[in-house]
Structures are given as structure tokens and as C-alpha cells.
Amino acid sequence: MQLLGFSQRLAAGAQAEALRGTACRPQGRAQVVVRPRAAASVEAPGRDIREDAHNRANLPGSDAFNSRYVPFTSVEAGTPRGSEEQYSLDEVLYRSRDGGLLDVSHDMEALAHFDAAYWKKLFDGRIGTTSWPFGSGVWSKKEWVLPEISSDDIVSMFEGNSNLFWAERFGHELGMSDLWVKQCGNSHTGSFKDLGMTVLVSQVNRLRKLKPDAVQAVGCASTGDTSAALSAYCAAAGIPSIVFLPADKISLAQLVQPIANGALVLSIDTDFDGCMKLIQEVTQSCPIYLANSMNSLRLEGQKTAAIEILQQFNWQVPDWLIIPGGNLGNIYAFYKGFKMCKDLGLVDRLPRLVCAQAQNANPLYLAYKSGYDSFQPVKAQTTFASAIQIGDPVSINRAVLALRETDGIVEEASEEELMDAAARADLTGMFNCPHTGVALSALTKLRERGVIAPSDRTVVVSTAHGLKFAQSKVAYHSKEIEGIGGKYANPPVQVKEELGAVMDAIRTKFNQL
Ligand SMILES: Cc1ncc(COP(=O)(O)O)c(C=O)c1O
Ligand SMILES: N[C@@H](CCOP(=O)(O)O)C(=O)O
């Protein structure tokens, strides 16, 4: 085995994996998990998928890549691996010596031993399989995410692989031919947070085995989606979770998620920024692991959505990507995913990124307008886009880097604009959350101003499922919201149990009948 060269070891491992992936897949039924059998062998089809992964872990090539924490300032300087300050991912820490954020840095040299064709084939070949853990959209890119974790420690719900919706009718209304919506909300807990949480909770699972006293529970501050994902993944792994929620500022559907999953739910009389400060203090003073995107592990999972989009376009780069921003981790995660693909030669350019903020919580927009000269946190006001009601985003520097490097733009949307944009697009078959409404409103403005051209390939990132925000949609369609006309409202018509009344209602709507 020692005689094999680096490349050969990797290729041997990947080839063996590919063979087993084929054997494991039940004929004609995608996404069906193979049930455990008593005895597992490497060759036998139909064995337990975890055991299969365990066997594979001992094959050549499984130890070739590594990643570590570096200060984010070294990423800004373009020298992440040159930094003398580096930490193992098995350490519990969230900030560098200078108090700045950390970043997960990969051994790009080792990854570059394999050409673009190799990576494309490997990633594409794993889509939709039941091979543990590669059936997950996140773990199908394991070598680029968390290469050193054992597959045994991974906590996954086969997240990711979300659909890319061709917004044909909505695009047509905006005079566009190539508009797409990446449906990250079509996920286990109904938001993109699952992508990051599978990585973070998997690493916690590993840490708890390595250092039993280091992590007693995992905690986060949340506007409702991070808490839902954290509590679900922790419940799946049997790890205690604690969530800090701003009282009365999240939707009912979001609130019930951590309750159902058995988390300790603290409803705190403050806003998200207040919760974020508290959770940082708590996680510094006791063995509770921080699960917000300040923890750079989360972004390693979230970045796979960018790679997935490229796969979905057969490795062609869209011209624009529009994303709603709050704590601002996700825009950096997207940038990082695209950048890794470019650096490793899978694509030749980056898309232009647009960050869309609610006008009522727009600190990044204000900084953008000042040429990023200065950043001032704001007191976030109430917005229907409640998950991005954040005035002091933790990842401000990460977002600015992502936007600068991609010739990016920041837009904002008023409450009426975001609700109208969501409702208008819903009329073409979507079911948008208000945050996606913010991004759709930004798209509409940039299209109207001619910044986005008719044939530009544009992807709007839908970050949560609309069903999590049904209350605000009901209010919109009932025309109950003060100051919002409800231009696209479609309220139900009350009708008596009488054929004549029913026919009248139908004729009123379709007068040609
Ligand atoms: C539904 C939804 N959309 C968008 C965002 C913004 O993501 P980020 O905080 O990474 O900017 C969040 C969370 O903040 C969210 O929950
Ligand atoms: N929208 C988020 C806010 C916290 O963001 P995070 O990505 O830093 O955890 C939420 O749902 O809580």
C-alpha cells in the first residue's frame, strides 16, 4: 500500500467508492436507503450504508486531504495557508488571536493534484445515490468540506440536492429568458441552514467522542431557521441543544420546530442581535458549542449550494446570483463555493453576487452606499422578512470580501416591495418566503434599471420554504396589512351553499363563462 503514489492512492479510493456506490443502489428506486443486513462485506450489495462507509474509510486515498482554521484576515490578505496562526478543527474556538473571525482553509495543493474533470466526475457521480454519506448534496463534496471526519461520525439527513426552478413565467414578465430560483428551502427543516448544520453537528459528534467533556450541548441565537436546523440535527444525533430566540419575533411554524425536536427553547425579551451577544457570552463561559455562522464550519456546508448550482448548469457559471442577507454568512459561503471551483479549474469565472436586504434591517446596504468606507450597525426594525431582521451582522467583513471580489451589488426592499414581489412570483407557481421576496424585489429593480440584461442567466436563492411564513402571506392576501395595498392579493371568496351563488362567483372571476 505504501508503494502507491499520492494520486494513485486517491484514484484507487475513489474507484472503489464508485464501484460500491453502484452495487449499493437499489435497482430502479432512487433515494431509498438500504436496510441493514447482518453481515457486511465490501463486495456484497444491499449492506448497511454506514458499515459500507466504514469499510471504505480504510481504503487508500481516504487520508489525503486536510483542512484547518486560519484567521479570516489571512484570507483577506490572500495568504490563508501562509498564516502562522492555524488550528485543528478539533479545537473549540471561533475567533482568531486578533479577535476576528476564523475561516476553514483547505489544502488546495493536495486538491489540485486532481484535475477538474476528476472532481466533476466524482461529484456528479454521487448525486442521488444512497451511498453513505455521499447521497447528501453536502457530503457528496466531502473532500472539499470536512475531509478528515470519519463517515461514522457524520450526522446527515441527505440534505442538499435542492431543485433549481426555471422561473419561465416570472422571467417572461420581467423580460428575461434565463431566470432560475434555487430552492434551498425545500429541505428537511425548510431552510438552507440544514446545509451548514449537518457539518457543524457532525464535527460536534466527533468532538464529543474525542473529548467527552468539551461539548455538553450546542447552542445558537436565532431568528427561527438556525434554531430549527440545530435542534433537528442534534435530536438526530442525541446531542442536547439550546436555542435563544427573540420573543415574539419569529413565526409560529419556526417556533414549534425546536420545541418538537426537544431543544431547550429560551424566548428572550430582546432582538436577534441581543440574543447573539448573549449566546457568545454563554458559549465562552461553559462547554456549550456555538452553532451560529460565526462558526466557520457552518459555511463549509452552505458553500456546497454554489457548487450544486454549477453542477445543475453542467458546470456553466450563471451571470448573477441574488441572495437575501441578514447575519451575512451565506453570501460569503456562496462566494467560497464558487471560488473553490474557479481555483481548482472547474469553472473559469465567478458570477456577480447581489445581496438583498430589507430596508428595515439594511446595515450592509448603507455600507455599500458609502463605498464600504464605514460600517455602522443599525437597530433593526420589524420586517416581514423576520429571519433577516438583523442590525449588527457578525459576518460583515466576509460579505464585503465576497461582494468586492465579484463586482457585487447590494439592494434593499421596502415592506411593500418585498411582499408584492413574493406574491407576484407566487402567481407564477412559486410559494415564496418574505426573504425570497426581498431577493425577487432586488431582481425586479436591477432588471428595470437595465443592470441585469434580458438574456443574463440569473439565479435567485430562495432561502426558506414559504410555508414557514404562512401567517404573513395570509395577512397579505386578506389585505390586512396597514400601509400595504396588496396589489397581488387573492383573497378567498365567501359563498353560500347555493348553486346560483357559486355560479355568480365563478362568472365574476371569469366573465366569459
Ligand atoms: C430564511 C433566511 N433567509 C436569509 C437569511 C440570511 O442569511 P445570512 O444570515 O447568512 O445572511 C436567513 C438567516 O439569516 C434566513 O433564515
Ligand atoms: N436567519 C438566521 C439568523 C442567524 O444566522 P446564522 O446563520 O448566523 O446562524 C436564523 O435563522 O437564526
DSSP 463: -
pLDDT at position 10 is 44
Give every residue of the chain whose pLDDT is below 50, as ranges: 1-45
pLDDT at position 380 is 98
Residue 463 lies in a domain: yes
Cell triple for 502: 357559486
pLDDT at position 36 is 30
Residue 243 lies in a domain: no
Residue type, 313: F
Cell triple for 132: 453513505
Tell which one of 201, 225, 278, 394 to mutate to probe ligand 2, the residue whose CB is within 8 A of the most ligand atoms: 225
Q: Which atom of ligand 1 is nearest to the CA of 393?
A: 9
pLDDT at position 149 is 97
- The answer to whether the CB of 326 is under 6 A from ligand 2 is yes
**How remote is the CA of residue 390 from the centroid of ligand 2, in Å?**
9
Residue 348 lies in a domain: yes
Single out the residue of 473, 457, 477 nearest to residue 465, CA to CA: 473
Instruction: Give per-residue pLDDT as tens, 418-474.
Output: 999 999 999 999 999 999 999 999 999 999 999 999 999 999 999 999 999 999 999
CATH of the domain at 419: 3.40.50.1100
Phi, psi dihedral angles at 457 (to 5 degrees): -75, 120
pLDDT at position 51 is 72
Interface confidence, given as ipTM, is 0.99
Instruction: Give per-residue pLDDT as tens, 169-223.
Output: 999 999 999 999 999 999 999 999 999 999 999 999 999 999 999 999 999 999 9
DSSP string, 281-338: HHHHHSSEEE-STTSHHHHHHHTHHHHHHHHHTTTPPPSEEEEE-SSSHHHHHHHHHH
- The answer to whether the CB of 190 is under 6 A from ligand 2 is no
Ligand 1 contacts (CB < 6 A) are 191, 223, 225, 293, 324-330, 387-388, 433, 435, 463-464
pLDDT at position 1 is 31
Between the CA atoms of 353, 466, 253 and 393, what dihedral angle is there, to the nearest 10 degrees?
10
Domain tally, the chain:
1
pLDDT at position 57 is 66
pLDDT at position 4 is 38
238 close to 265: Cβ distance less than 8 angstroms:
no
Alpha-carbon gap, residue 423 to 488, rounded angstroms: 6
Q: Is 218 strand, coil or helix?
A: strand
pLDDT at position 364 is 98
pLDDT at position 62 is 58
Instruction: Give per-residue pLDDT as tens, 118-158.
Output: 999 999 999 989 999 999 999 999 999 999 999 999 999 99
Residue 355 lies in a domain: yes
pLDDT at position 61 is 61
Name the residue at shortest CA distance from atom 5 of ligand 2. 327
- The answer to whether the CB of 254 is under 6 A from ligand 2 is no
**How remote is the CA of residue 120 from the centroid of ligand 2, in Å?**
31
376 close to 366: Cβ distance less than 8 angstroms:
yes
Express the helix, strand and coil content of the chain in percent, nearest 5 each: 45, 15, 45
Nearest ligand atom owner, CA of 243: 2
Alpha-carbon gap, residue 93 to 283, rounded angstroms: 10
Residue 360 lies in a domain: yes
Structural domain boundaries, residue 323: 164-189+296-478
Nearest ligand atom owner, CA of 225: 2
Q: Which atom of ligand 1 is nearest to the CA of 433?
A: 1
pLDDT at position 226 is 98
Residue 327 lies in a domain: yes
pTM: 0.91
